[in-house]
A = this chain, B = another copy of it.
Amino acid sequence: MKSKRIGQRTVKLQNKPKIISSASVVGPKEGEGPLRDYFDLVLSDDLFGEKSWELAESKMVQTAMETAVKKAGKKLSDVNYLIGGDLINQILPASFAARELAIPFLGIYGACSTMAEGMCLNAMMIDGGFADYILSGTSSHYCTAERQFRFPLELGNQKPMTAQWTVTGAGSILMAAEGNGPYVKYVTIGKVIDKGIDDGNNMGAAMAPAAIDTIYSYFDDTKDDPNSFDMIVTGDLGKLGKQITQDLLKERGLDISKVYTDCGLKIFNLEEQDVHCGGSGCGCSATVFSAYIYDKLMKKEFNKVMLVSTGALLSPTSTLQKQTIPCVAHAVVIVNE
């Protein structure tokens, strides 16, 4: 068999696994941001009619997934696999959504790298001929994340300016062996990198080294030109993490500054929406990709994009045990013909 590996870390897909549809659901605050017109559904209430935020998050990701399938003109029963996960303990939202969707389920955990992790697996499984249709997606919710990782919302804690705002949102894509849409050309799976940061309110700095490692590996493997991209976009490094990534890559001789942005800067208006360093959470890159970037790809306004979702693999348990924050980032390169 012809090798699909390029260089040390990158896989070149051979059969053009296509993203045939996408969908997104966001909360009220995200619906007031600059991407408001791109989302399929903006909730007026972040409980979405449920009794808890966790159940609301589950309903959001379920709705995004159902919507992606419907927009492709398919039925849930056409879908061979569902790949999902999120930030919440034991991926409660994804598991509960999978129960309702009744599609064979592969649970993943990559913290906020989940969107890209799911797309990498999705693309490889479609490319390898193991499925005709695979749905992947993820979610986050400001209220579920805050109370699990930081403090009860009722305390009204103030945050330092390095902190980010967890996106309330869910995004999903449907990939297929055949159909219309941009396709995944390369994937680069990330290593777990930990530079010793232990501050859960400075995730951009914690995750930047993982993003740097993955982006650098992709370009080292493929000898691709950063300026051939319409956009290279990290998941949720925010303002500070983006600057670190750009600067340190430049120091290593790789200048991505002309095409580089971060989903956490796209989803909110940082000046007006009081989100400090920007958006974060699994739902950040999931909704920005599923809504804005996918739309641009479909309209051929973008023809080559690299999505690098970034995840901080900390947990409430590791934080209590005074551990530093291991991070990971996965890259997916999506192109038009």
Contacts and interface: CB of A to CB of B under 8 A. Distances in A.
A158 interface: no
Contacts of A193: 99
Interface string A6-36: 0001010001000000000000000000000
A127 interface: yes
Interface string A275-315: 00000000000000000000000000000000000000111
Contact of A111 (B90, B98, B190): B90
B88 A4 contact: no
A38 interface: no
A183 to B, nearest CB: 15
Nearest to A187: B130
Nearest to A113: B107
Contacts of A314: 90
Interface stretch (A41-49, A239-247, A316-324): A316-324
A108 to B, nearest CB: 5
Contacts of A90: 87, 89, 109, 111, 313-318
Interface residues of A, number: 63
A87 B314 CA distance: 14
B315 A92 contact: yes
A127 to B, nearest CB: 7
B102 A106 contact: no
A89 B1 contact: no
Interface string A109-148: 1110000010011001101111110000000000000001
A191 B96 contact: no
Contacts of A129: 1-4, 128
Given A99-B192, A192-B98, A107 B3 contact: no
A200 to B, nearest CB: 12
A52 interface: yes
A79 B192 CA distance: 14
A52 B11 CA distance: 38
A143 to B, nearest CB: 12
25 contacts: A1-B15, A4-B130, A5-B80, A5-B132, A11-B130, A54-B317, A54-B321, A55-B321, A88-B315, A89-B90, A89-B316, A91-B313, A95-B326, A96-B323, A98-B328, A102-B191, A104-B190, A104-B191, A105-B192, A105-B328, A106-B117, A107-B313, A121-B121, A128-B129, A148-B317
- 5 closest Cβ pairs, A-B complex: A128-B128, A90-B315, A95-B313, A104-B189, A98-B192
Interface of A: 1-5, 9, 11, 15, 51-52, 54-55, 80-81, 85, 87-92, 95-96, 98-99, 102-111, 117, 120-121, 124-125, 127-132, 148, 189-194, 313-318, 321, 323, 326, 328
Given A54-B318, A89-B317, A109-B109, 8 more contacts: A4-B128, A91-B313, A95-B192, A95-B326, A98-B326, A103-B191, A106-B108, A124-B124
